């Protein structure tokens, strides 16, 4: 298996779910840009430029590329420098970003070790999934909406409280999907 797997797709397409499963099954590092950004939001060591970028994210705008690179490359280095593979989810959203990642992997002599997987999903289905999903406050487990899971009140994994994510409001979802 290649050393670097990159999942690409619209919000709610299941990138994180698939990336997490593969990372666990193959002992790879799972790097989620969403998780990195949420972690940064709660950090005590946040820089002013990062705070400004996070404010834009909360309003539903894409985070600037420079911040994504800073976070992802630091995290990737921590795995790759120890010889581990990585699974990226949500890291690449446009051609300039893809070129920057290609340059990064080339510098690491890993250009031939990259595989990208695109998960397709209509805007309508993306909106439906995001507006109905819940997340565990305690462990971060994402609970998709299904008729079977509609009535559960606690996380099946840890028992934590299930809530809607702040960026899963209708206004923010519409901006994220565009």
Mean pLDDT of the 118-140 span: 87
Identify the CA nearest to 90 among candidates 54, 114, 116.
Answer: 116
Percent of the chain with pLDDT over 70: 99
pTM (predicted TM-score) = 0.78
User: Cβ–Cβ contacts within 10 Å for residue 30, how many?
Assistant: 19
**How would residue 142 be classed by pLDDT, with cut points 50, 70 and 90?**
confident
pLDDT digits (tens, 9 = 90+) for 8-66: 988 888 898 899 999 999 999 999 988 898 899 889 999 999 999 988 887 778 889 99
User: Cβ–Cβ contacts within 10 Å for residue 43, how many?
Assistant: 11
Q: Cα–Cα distances in Å, from 42 out to 36, 46, 170? A: 10, 9, 24
pLDDT, position 162 = 93
User: Cβ–Cβ contacts within 10 Å for residue 175, how many?
Assistant: 13
User: Cβ–Cβ contacts within 10 Å for residue 75, how many?
Assistant: 21
Mean pLDDT of the 83-91 span: 93
SS (H, E, C) 117-161: EECCCCHHHHHHHHHHCEEECCCCCEECCCCCCCCCCECCCCCCE
Whether residue 178 is predicted with pLDDT greater than 70 in this model: the reply is no
Of 90 and 70, more confident:
70
Q: What are phi and psi of 109, to 5 degrees?
A: 60, 40
Q: Are 9 and 121 within 8 A, CB to CB?
A: yes
Mean pLDDT of the 148-162 span: 89
pLDDT, position 79 = 97
User: Cβ–Cβ contacts within 10 Å for residue 122, how many?
Assistant: 11
User: Cβ–Cβ contacts within 10 Å for residue 48, how many?
Assistant: 7
Percent of the chain with pLDDT over 90: 53
Structural domains in the chain? 4-118 (3.40.50.300), 123-177 (no CATH)
Q: Cα–Cα distances in Å, from 116 out to 9, 84, 91? A: 10, 18, 11
Of 110 and 130, more confident:
110
């Amino acid at each position: 298996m290649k050393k670097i797997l990159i999942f690409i797709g619209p919000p709610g397409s299941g990138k994180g779910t698939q990336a997490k499963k593969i990372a666990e099954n193959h002992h790879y590092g799972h790097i989620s840009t969403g998780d990195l950004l949420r972690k940064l939001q709660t950090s005590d060591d946040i820089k002013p430029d990062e705070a400004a970028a996070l404010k834009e994210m909360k309003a539903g705008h894409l985070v600037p590329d420079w911040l994504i690179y800073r976070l992802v490359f630091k995290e990737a280095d921590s795995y790759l420098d120890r010889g581990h593979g990585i699974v990226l989810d949500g890291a690449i959203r446009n051609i300039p970003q893809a070129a920057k990642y290609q340059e990064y992997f080339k510098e690491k002599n890993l250009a031939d070790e990259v595989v990208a997987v695109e998960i397709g999903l209509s805007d309508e289905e993306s909106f439906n999934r995001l507006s109905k999903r819940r997340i565990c406050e305690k462990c971060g487990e994402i609970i998709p909406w299904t008729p079977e899971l509609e009535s559960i009140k606690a996380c099946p994994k840890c028992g934590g409280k299930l809530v809607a994510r702040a960026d899963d409001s209708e206004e923010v979802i519409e901006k994220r999907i565009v």
